Amino acid sequence: MSPARRSAQSGAVLTPSGLGKELAAGQLRPAYLLAGPEPLYRDDALAGIRAAVLDGGPSEFNETRLDGARTNAGELSEAAQELPVFAERRLVILREPEARRARAQQITDALVEVLAALREQQATTLVVLAARADKRSRWVKAFAAPAARVDCEAPRRSRDIAAFATEEARRREIRLGPGAAEALAEIAGPQLLLLRQELEKAALLAGEGEEVSREHVLEGASGLAEEPIWDLTDAIGEGRGADALAILRRMLAGGAAPPMLLGALASHFRKLTRTSYGAAPRGSPWSMRKLESQANRYHPQRLQSNLAAIHTVDEVLKGQGALTPTLALERLVLNLSS
């Protein structure tokens, strides 16, 4: 039986790995809420669901993407009622349903009605992505079985981060030697995008098909220029675009690896995003005041757009698009600073 015809009925809360196991087993739910601050988990989960739903069918007819900042309740309801064309199932994606406060209640109320209508059908799968979703909210609770909420929180404990590194290496068919996963966890911490980049860099240093050692990981991470990364993030966060661009160019000239720089920017803007929502990471009073000051420069929606822009540059660094890594980073830094 194809993934589009099988559905999972138990468990309303999944981990990203649990979702992956369901999809691999051909289980597909009518709706998913991908909720949490880790964009790597959200994006990977969406990619897996999308592949299962469309199953090689024509995406131009069977995929609708909606942005909570621009859509309305009527558009959401209409999209959920459309029938697939030359395929078994269609996909509706809604990002940040509460992005626009003036319309948030209307959209989330419509979302509850849409979820109720989707429970007993197999023609449409709805995926909602939200960096922040209050589990007490009516619309979040509506993702009960057979729908599901996928918790997209990055691991915090070192052993859990190392476990993620091990699983990521296995998925990419990269062999890790003793201590390599732990070294990746030490370097990247809960920054999963940075960890993935450091894993890829270490694999290149080791050579195709060769085992990645702890030494390969440390060698790959040693390329960051000596100029403190916070000089760059402070210039960006304070809106000093010209200074930020000059610092970036000095760091690149000094041997800083673009993936390392991008990972640092991703980490900083995740901190700013959490701070804007009142959930700032712990730190000294001085560092907290600095984060709050920088976060106040951006509307929460702009912070989400900045994280999306960082993700786009990550794709460039992986070889997609026509821009060079240097030009992509320069444009990103100017955009983040504005």
Could you report the per-residue pLDDT of 80-90, keeping only the tens digit for each? 999 998 888 99
Using 50, 70 and 90 to split pLDDT, how confident is the model at 322? Answer: confident
Name the nearest CA neighbour of 314 among 274, 273, 271, 258.
Answer: 258
The yes-or-no verdict on residue 226 having pLDDT over 80 is no
Mean pLDDT of 96-112: 91
pLDDT at residue 227 greater than cutoff 60: no
CA–chain centroid gap for 86, Å, is 31
pLDDT at site 102: 83
Q: What rounded mean pLDDT belongs to the chain?
A: 87
Show Cβ contacts of residue 294 under 8 Å, excluding neighbours closer than 6 positions: 234, 237, 238, 272
Strand partners, 125: 91
pLDDT tens digits, one per residue of 193-214: 888 888 998 999 999 899 999 9
Predicted confidence at residue 284, as pLDDT, reads 64
Burial label for 4, CB within 10 Å (0-12, 13-18, 19+), is buried
Burial class (CB in 10 A: 0-12, 13-18, 19+), 82: middle
pTM over 0.75: no
More confident: 264 or 256: 264
Taking only the tens place, the pLDDT of each residue in 13-48 is 999 989 999 999 999 999 999 999 888 899 999 999
Instruction: Provide the residue type at 53 as one letter.
Output: V
> What pLDDT does 7 receive?
44
Containing 245, the helix (H) or strand (E) segment is: helix 241-253
| Dihedral of the alpha carbons of 263, 70, 44, 151, in degrees to the nearest 10 | 90
Statement: residue 329 has pLDDT above 90 = yes
Residues composing the chain: 338
Q: Is the pLDDT confidence value at 321 over 90?
A: no
Strand partners, 213: none
Q: What percent of the chain has pLDDT over 90?
A: 50
Q: Is 224 a residue whose pLDDT tops 70?
A: no
One-letter amino acid identity for 302? Answer: R
